[in-house]
A = this chain, B = another copy of it.
Amino acid sequence: MLRLSKLTDYAVVVLIRLAQGEAVQTVPLIAQSTGVPEPTVAKVLKSLSASGLVLSSRGARGGYRLAQTLFDIPVSRVIAAIDGPIALTACVEGTGGGCSSESHCPGSGRWNLVNQAIHTALSRINLGDMALISLPNGLQTDFHPSDRRAPAFENREL
């Protein structure tokens, strides 16, 4: 199975949660509302913060908030933030090589075509699309108004 780490799934849940309710939310609050364990939420948010997807503020009244709207975050960025560069195998340009059977390998660029196709596909889907699909209708109005660009999803084509 083509596998994505659970942490990436959690990251999507957390980001969608951040788009709801208070602008700035703490780790315990997010953990409680999403059901994801608190240390795991913290871990995910650290990665997202390092990638610039969320902004953090320390100290009392601190917490995390989205750096941009869900519709501006392609799925590929979330995956890259948590799992690193999107690449199907170790035999891919840019990952530094080191394949033990490189001499027998009929070409190091074999999977590049596939990687490009997947990256393109993932760049076309944003978290706003995913949130709209996953949320019950009643909750869709719970988005922070500034996080909603009306035409973005209605005329969106995959």
**Which residues from chain A sit less than 8 Å from chain B, CB to CB?**
1-4, 6, 9, 12-13, 16-17, 34-36, 75, 79, 83-89, 91, 101, 103-114, 116-118, 120-122, 124-125, 129-131, 133-136, 139, 158
Name the residue on B nearest A6 (C-beta): B89
Closest beta carbon of chain B to A103's beta carbon, Å: 7
- Tell whether A117 pairs with B106 under 8 Å between CB atoms, given A4-B2, A87-B2, A89-B9: no
A135: chain B residues within 8 A (beta carbon): 106-107
Closest beta carbon of chain B to A41's beta carbon, Å: 12
**Bound: A158/B17 CA distance, A:** 35
**Bound: A104/B31 CA distance, A:** 10
Pairs across A and B, CB under 8 Å, 19 listed: A2-B3, A2-B86, A2-B118, A3-B88, A3-B89, A9-B91, A9-B111, A13-B105, A35-B101, A107-B134, A107-B136, A110-B133, A111-B130, A113-B129, A114-B122, A116-B158, A117-B125, A118-B121, A118-B122
A158 touches B104 (CB 8 A): no
A139: chain B residues within 8 A (beta carbon): 106
Name the residue on B nearest A115 (C-beta): B2
